[in-house]
Structure 1
């Protein structure tokens, strides 16, 4: 309890300081006044294409996460750091994380609940002041090279493969994106915890296969995971998965493997201590809920499946089902609709995600060294990515794929009740013997209540007599005795208490 209170105080203090920096001071005043500024910005993430045209009529618009360093407002230079999102034209497509740019634009407040301090509507093309550092330039070049190599594959894989491997969704087809959103597969279009888990597990398996000691294998796996996170960018879900995997590897290296729920709690605490703004991020919340569902309910659902079903098939159903049930109430808040085919669609692509991730990541690493081998791996990964896109389009085209659902808190509450009902229904279907026993026991209790105390006492006395070896049949005048040795039944006639007496013989007529 003391540790929990200390952690809560630390997170609260950090959040209060960050909130004061966002909402107080010259930068917050400029955002509230919607001032026009000249800003120096550090690019903090990869540009993201916007599908909705802006108010100025620009069809090709990009959103770029940046960190404000200085701004010039009314002839005065103001220094300070604040997280912003730049809305700009096609010139912002080539922004690279780590660059320092100068641009002009107009500040405006961000939407309520957003982690950014404001938005900057750029009115000019960016001017490069400083290029990215060596640790950022290399991963950026890998992402661009992999996107170009994926484009040569053609079809849906050209846009989906970079999204599933490096998180670059700039070339994703809008129709495919809508189809994946309809069937609840949007988590596949960006790098998530599943990708980090696959990379970490594969590296650990390779290291142990090479007979490396446990500590050396853990260190090599962590180094490979760090390079992967550096390549795809520090997305909140990726950071969460990377931190959780690091803690798990540390516990294995120390010979103290821990529980998944404990590791998840440690990962969430660490990330909230580092970035309290993640508490308001829907992406982070969905990532945590999905992992929580897999940890809490995934193993139990696998145990419910009969032993005759292979474990890989049971895991293929249990993992997406548990994640979907825990995430569904939050998804309704973002998208008030019910994906009728979300579970079968995710089960169908469960076996395709691992080849896409592993082959694509290996191809991205080999592109600068062995381009020919990387091209072969990209072609193989494109086949699996095309299959994922085909599954999404197939289920999205079925009737009733997206059903309306209530919005707001009522929609989330009803979806939570629906998820609990579905979990109970799955238990009932997978435990027929236990269900029949429970029904018979409930029937016996109802019969006992309806018969009343007198009949219940009579039945109890009769059962007690049977256990003693005697059974009296009411109204038949017999007493049954069962010998335990032979098992044969012997019956004796007993006099009836209220029965008629022996019939008197009367002489026939004429007899004296």
Structure 2
């Protein structure tokens, strides 16, 4: 399904239509086979006849049904991708983008502005995702809903998702595989904006107030704290950003699934403290998480992080990896059906892999750690390790280097992330209600964020902090092998007695295998008429383990001299 979802970004509409038809037809065949097998089984059961050798069994029928549903969903995702394919390859908008024409467009802001390299100050440039409503180019008015990105300067950093405004500039093609139909290099400030929800406007105002209220902090804390709390990285120092990249801590420079998990977990604990029933507690926690998402900004990355973080918390809290895995599969299917272009996003892939690692490996690693270790400390080690084991092979594709101190740095800052997120988030509404209390919380949260920044800078300056790694497929395969060895090493360190028992068991199995090989070799010699125990020039010894005689040939010079038999007295 993942491959079918991204096919619309690469294939032409004709090829995509053929793919949709093939997937739907194949899925229908498997579903028909599963239905036929179910009817046959019910008929035999009603007649009281035993199932014959050719009868479709339940596991086979279940597999056929699951495969059929998967193919039908893949066809649906590919059909949804056809919209992006048609906008990229066909129509007047695609022709205008390919020709690089100038255009005036009425667009709807689809996400928060992101500062482009060079800063997001008054003179900086911003990247704003939008949906087109009307595009006028070459005297032709085109009404279409296509996703493009506006690259603009002054004024574009203050737009709010949901606003409708006018943009003028030059159209340019998007890079191959990108989800946008193209880009618009804005030559002017955005026109007068209309619309936009009051909630999103208030969230933008709160983000701006939080950045202003953090001005009294040190430089690193002043740049990092707003990013960790509200997702605003406009004040982040370039040197600190590079240091966090070098030690594998970029997920802390902005809101990620970890922040959403902390907020959701804190809300659940608060509801439990007040002894709320399960349903009201879940509703209150989800409502609080929704408000946090609105504060940060309803971008696709934030929505994805909130969803994956919620799944990770549910899996760890429930202690059942199977249920968490089912939730993750449903979430991935739903996201790809709604937005097929997410399949090309490395951020989406890393979020899925990190959540999958927490679900499959996080609970196991926590259980391996001795009970004497506090559970919060065990989780602080297990969660980043589990996520890194699965994300490492993909990270080396993006950045072919090995962050030597990534795990250690993430474990060190893990206790600091929770106070930064929770205290900083609590300070945001207090900026309006009690500014002095908000300032106190920001000061405490800033102290912890300064610790995160200091850890990143210290680890980045250590020798060998970023080692070169092979690029491409060799790098991916070698990182997969390293992740497997690391997982095995953690198990061996946490369960030394089980390791010894398994080594002994493996030794016993090896000895038994050698014994079986010896027996087969002796039988083979007897079949050929050779008896290794009676051949001349062989030296025999007894193996203490197997109890059998093993005879090895000696050179002629090493053979013992023949003994002369002495005749007893009186003998003949």
- Tell me if TM exceeds 0.5: yes
Aligned counterpart, 1:509: none
1:351 aligns with 2:415: yes
The alpha carbon displacement at 1:300 in A equals: 1.3
Instruction: Quote the residue 2:347 is aligned against.
Output: 283
- 1:179 match: 243
CA separation of 1:52 and 1:405: change in aligned 2, threshold 3 A: farther
Give the corresponding residue for 1:391. 455
Paired with 1:367 and 1:139, the residues of 2 have a C-alpha distance of 12
Measure the CA separation in 2 of the matches of 1:246 and 1:284: 15
Q: Which 5+ residue runs of structure 2 have no aligned equivalent?
A: 1-65, 523-540, 549-565
The one of 113, 119, 127 equivalent to 1:47 is 113
Change (3 A) 1:440 1:458: closer
Distance in 2 (CA, whole Å) between partners of 1:446 and 1:456 is 18
Distance 2:360 2:167 in 1: 48
1:203 pairs with 2:267: yes
Structure 1 residue 431: Cα displacement: 2.7
Q: 1:215 to 1:303 in 2, by over 3 A?
A: closer
Structure with the greater alpha carbon radius of gyration: 1
| Residue in 1 that maps onto 2:435 | 371
| Higher share in helix | 2
Counterpart secondary structure, 1:265: helix
User: 1 CA distance for matches of 2:79 and 2:455?
Assistant: 47
Give the structure 2 partner of residue 322 of structure 1. 386
Tell me the distance in 2 between the aligned counterparts of 1:330 and 1:16: 28
Q: Please tell me whether the aligned partners of residues 240 and 267 of structure 1 are also in contact (alpha carbons under 8 angstroms).
A: no
| Residue equivalent to 1:166 | 230
Distance change >3 Å, CA 449–CA 120, structure 1 → 2: same
CA contact 2:244–2:457 (8 Å) conserved in 1: yes
CA shift in 2, pair 1:352/1:249, >3 Å: closer
Matches within 5 A, 1:246-265: 259-265=323-329
Question: CA–CA distance in 2 between the matches of 1:69 and 1:321?
Answer: 45
Given that 1:237 and 1:287 are in contact with CA atoms closer than 8 Å, whether structure 2 keeps it comes out as no
Contact kept? 1:97, 1:136, Cα under 8 Å = yes
Q: Mean Cα displacement is larger for which, 363-372 or 353-362?
A: 363-372
The alpha-carbon deviation at position 442 of structure 1 amounts to 3.9
1:484 maps to what in 2? none
Deviations 1:99-148 (A, max 9, x none): 32222211111122221111111122222232532132111111111121
Out of 110, 128, 131, the residue aligned to residue 192 of structure 2 is 128
Aligned to 1:489: none
Q: Per the alignment, do residues 347 and 245 of structure 1 end up closer, same or farther by CA in structure 2, a change over 3 Å counting?
A: closer
Q: What TM-score, normalized to structure 2? A: 0.74
Q: 1:141 to 1:299 in 2, by over 3 A?
A: same
Of 10, 20, 29, 2:95 maps to 29
Q: Structure 1's 461 and 271: CA in aligned 2 closer, same or farther, altered over 3 A?
A: same
Q: Secondary structure at the match of 1:368?
A: helix
Aligned counterpart, 1:148: 212
What are the Cα deviations for residues 160-210 of structure 1, in whole angstroms up to 9, with x where unaligned? 111111111111000000000000000111111111111112112212222
Distance 1:16 1:133 in 2: 31
Q: Report the counterpart of residue 230 of structure 1 in structure 2.
A: 294
How many residues matched?
461
CA shift for structure 1 position 250: 10
Instruction: Find the aligned partners of 1:248 and 1:125 in 2 and give their Cα distance.
Output: 42
Coordinate RMSD, CA, aligned:
3.1
Partner residue of 2:155 out of 87, 91, 96 = 91
The 1-side partners of 2:542 and 2:109 are apart by 79
Pick closer, same or farther for the CA change 1:363–1:272 going to 2, 3 Å: same
| Correspondent of 1:408 among 451, 469, 472 | 472
- 2:148 is paired with a residue of what secondary structure? strand
